[in-house]
């Protein structure tokens, strides 16, 4: 049985604006689920309904078989870490972590044991006598995490907890958060708009748009088998490049025909596109293969080169659109250089032009 069941939950504001529309999801024991989507898609609203901080307009929230839809937050057995940490500035780190345990009237010895255990787990064990004002943002975030973990919740919620940290610390903390999850095996839901965080941390990603779930799947599922154009364009850095192409038959072969290129498909892809005359082709930046001989499928001029260390992002202009590709850094390129690419035909993405859904 799932630890958490969301059954058609929805939230409407002012009887006209839907924050979440009919969301259903099962979260399994020990899973790390990430809600991912652009600002305003409903991911934080959904999490706040789970926590009891927002009332649901309709639907049910079931936690470990118990309907908690109308329970107050304190009775749900859920811990939540907020974007702004929400720790008490006048309390020491020890007292911040111990606060909820004292409200539960646990014995002092157990409180001390739990505080020290979680403090060591998040690497602030030597800072228990400090006040939050004496700590960095990253250390304050660790206090908030320790406080949430100390109560040993049935469900652990995190609402963009890394967004206030600098880029380097975010990368470090997301690795540590994943490691903490693996040690505690706490069922967790993490909200972010950063797809790199989602891809690196999640067991499954819930991609949301306009208050609805667009796709649920592993990081591999949403990246390699994107459900629609929105997902393919949202997941990945740089994002997927899209081309409107005609599907034609030439000499018994299926051809993708574009003003700037022609690509011949193999039998499996030809069968997938049977009956289609026009589609949207998706090609991820890493699936452009540099053709050093200059006779590749797609020929253009370099517009911009963005060095990234191990590779460089090379931007082209094709049919008035900016196309981004990844090229090894050992190949020297400058704006205006002629360049030629083949496609990795194993990893092309096909979408219906009308519905924008993936063609399976």
Q: How many helices (H) and strands (E) does the chain have?
A: 9, 20
CA dist., res. 284 & res. 313, Å (int): 12
SS3 (DSSP) at 59: strand
Q: What's the CA dihedral at 132, 138, 142, 143 to 10 degrees?
A: 10
Specify whether the CB–CB gap between 222 and 192 falls below 8 A: no
pLDDT of residue 145: 87
Contacts of 256 (CB under 8 A, 6+ apart): 245, 246, 247, 262, 263, 264, 265, 279, 281
Number of other residues whose CB lies within 10 A of the CB of residue 335: 11
pLDDT of residue 327: 94
> What is d(CA 163, CA 192) in angstroms, rounded to the nearest whole number?
8
Q: Where are the alpha helices (DSSP H) in 38-156?
A: 43-51, 93-103, 108-121, 137-150
Evaluate whether 39 touches 193 at the Cβ level (below 8 Å).
yes
What is the structure's pLDDT at 206? 98
Q: Is residue 212 classed exposed, middle or buried when 0-12, 13-18 and 19+ CB atoms within 10 A define those classes?
A: middle
Q: Which residues contact 257 (CB under 8 A, 6 or more apart)?
A: 245, 246, 247, 248
Domain architecture of the chain: domains with CATH: 4-234 (3.40.50.300), 241-352 (2.40.50.140)
d(CA 183, CA 197): 19
Q: What pLDDT, on a 0 to 100 scale, did the predictor assign at position 283?
A: 97
Which residues does residue 325 pair with via DSSP β-bridges, in sequence order? 314
What angle is formed at CA 117 by the lines to CA 112 and CA 118, rounded to 5 degrees? 105
Q: What is the pLDDT of residue 328?
A: 92
- Give the H or E element holding residue 168: helix 167-184
| pLDDT beneath 50: ranges in the chain | none
Supply the DSSP symbol for 135.
S
């Amino acid at each position: 049985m799932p630890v958490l069941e969301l059954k058609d939950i929805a939230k409407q504001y002012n009887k006209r604006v839907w924050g979440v529309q009919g969301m259903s999801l099962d979260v399994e024991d020990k899973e790390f689920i990430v809600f991912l989507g652009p600002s305003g898609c409903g991911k934080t609203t959904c999490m706040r309904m789970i926590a009891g901080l927002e009332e649901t307009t309709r639907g049910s929230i079931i936690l470990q078989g118990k309907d908690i839809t109308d329970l107050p937050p304190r009775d749900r057995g859920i811990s939540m870490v907020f974007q702004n940490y929400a720790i008490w500035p006048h309390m020491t780190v020890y007292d911040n972590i111990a606060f909820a345990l004292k409200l539960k009237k646990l014995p002092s010895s157990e409180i001390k044991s739990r505080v020290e255990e979680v403090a060591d787990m998040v690497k602030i064990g030597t800072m228990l006598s400090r006040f939050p004002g004496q700590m960095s943002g990253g250390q304050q975030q660790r206090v908030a995490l320790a406080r949430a973990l100390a109560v040993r919740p049935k469900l652990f919620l995190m609402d963009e907890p890394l967004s206030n940290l600098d880029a380097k610390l975010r990368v470090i903390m997301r690795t540590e958060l994943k490691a903490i999850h693996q040690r505690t095996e706490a069922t967790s839901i993490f909200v972010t708009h950063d797809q790199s965080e989602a891809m690196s941390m999640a067991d499954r990603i819930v991609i949301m748009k306009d208050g609805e779930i667009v796709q649920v799947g592993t990081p591999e599922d949403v990246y390699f088998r994107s459900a629609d154009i929105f997902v393919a364009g949202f997941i990945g850095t740089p994002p997927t490049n899209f081309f409107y192409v005609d599907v034609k038959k030439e000499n018994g072969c299926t051809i993708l025909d574009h003003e700037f290129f022609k690509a011949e498909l193999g039998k499996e892809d030809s069968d997938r596109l049977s009956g289609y005359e026009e589609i949207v082709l998706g090609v991820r930046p890493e699936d452009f293969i540099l053709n050093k001989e200059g006779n590749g499928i797609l020929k253009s001029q370099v517009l911009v080169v963005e060095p990234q260390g191990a590779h460089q992002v090379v931007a082209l202009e094709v049919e008035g659109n900016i196309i981004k590709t990844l090229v090894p850094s050992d190949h020297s390129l400058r704006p205006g250089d002629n360049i030629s690419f083949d496609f990795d035909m194993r990893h092309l993405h096909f979408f219906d032009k009308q519905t924008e859904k993936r063609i399976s």
